[in-house]
Chains A and B, each alone.
Chain A
Amino acid sequence: NAGVTQTPKFRILKIGQSMTLQCAQDMNHNYMYWYRQDPGMGLKLIYYSVGAGITDKGEVPNGYNVSRSTTEDFPLRLELAAPSQTSVYFCASSHRVDTEAFFGQGTRLTVV
């Protein structure tokens, strides 16, 4: 079982560049989440989705965009990368709101 797959695992971006962090889950989960984790800190919710076609902002959405055209995929877009976006990004999914969320292995992003 693949679970939640994130790509790439590592990326270095220059200031002002754009990129898309990919997240795919094969568990037919409705709920999907994007978090960022700064060094030595907890997880902050960026965006989440309760189903295909529905997305909503979390705690720290500025500088990011998401889409949810299918149940399986939930890409996170950075349009103009800034050093403040240097972080580890985690994608997660869950079947229902009151069941455990499964996490991917993370994408480590450095903006220089």
Chain B
Amino acid sequence: GESVGLHLPTLSVQEGDNSIINCAYSNSASDYFIWYKQESGKGPQFIIDIRSNMDKRQGQRVTVLLNKTVKHLSLQIAATQPGDSAVYFCAENMRAAGNKLTFGGGTRVLVKP
């Protein structure tokens, strides 16, 4: 299978528990942030986004928190399911830097039954 996630930090979670994935972003002027999920052999898929004028946004079973003071982003997954096993990436965009969408390091989530 694909080798995505072999060298990335791994979070092991019991099925049904909540998961928290953290991301430190690089630029304090970044104004848009996205969380992506990448399953083995596939391209990244959008999970949830947040703009810099917000500090929290909720979706279905997912919540993104943005702390601009410490340049930190987190993704919370409620009631983690086996289908949540994947590599998760945060990405940031900054208009002032030419609208480049750049990715941070990912985290591999393994859900244990």
Chain A residues engaging chain B, CB cutoff 8 angstroms = 4, 31, 33, 35, 37, 39-45, 48, 50, 56, 58-59, 90, 92, 94, 97-106
Q: Is the CB of B8 within 8 A of A42?
A: yes
Q: Is the CB of B99 within 8 A of A90?
A: no
The CA-CA distance from A98 to B32 in the complex, in Å, is 6
Chain A residues with Cβ below 8 Å from B43 are 4, 90, 92, 103-106
Picked from B31, B32, B34, B103, the residue with its CB within 8 Å of the CB of A42 is B103
For chain B, the bracket of interface size reads 20 to 34
Q: Is the CB of A98 within 8 A of B8?
A: no
The CA-CA distance from A92 to B93 in the complex, in Å, is 14
Is B45 an interface position by the 8 A CB rule?
Answer: yes
Picked from B5, B89, B99, B103, the residue with its CB within 8 Å of the CB of A50 is B99
Q: Known interface pairs A42-B106, A45-B102. Does A97 touch B93 (Cβ–Cβ under 8 Å)? A: yes
- How far, in Å, is B50 (CB) from chain A's closest CB? 10
Closest B residue by C-beta to A106: B43
Q: Is the CB of B34 within 8 A of A97?
A: no
Q: Is the CB of B4 within 8 A of A97?
A: no
Chain B residues with Cβ below 8 Å from A94 are 101
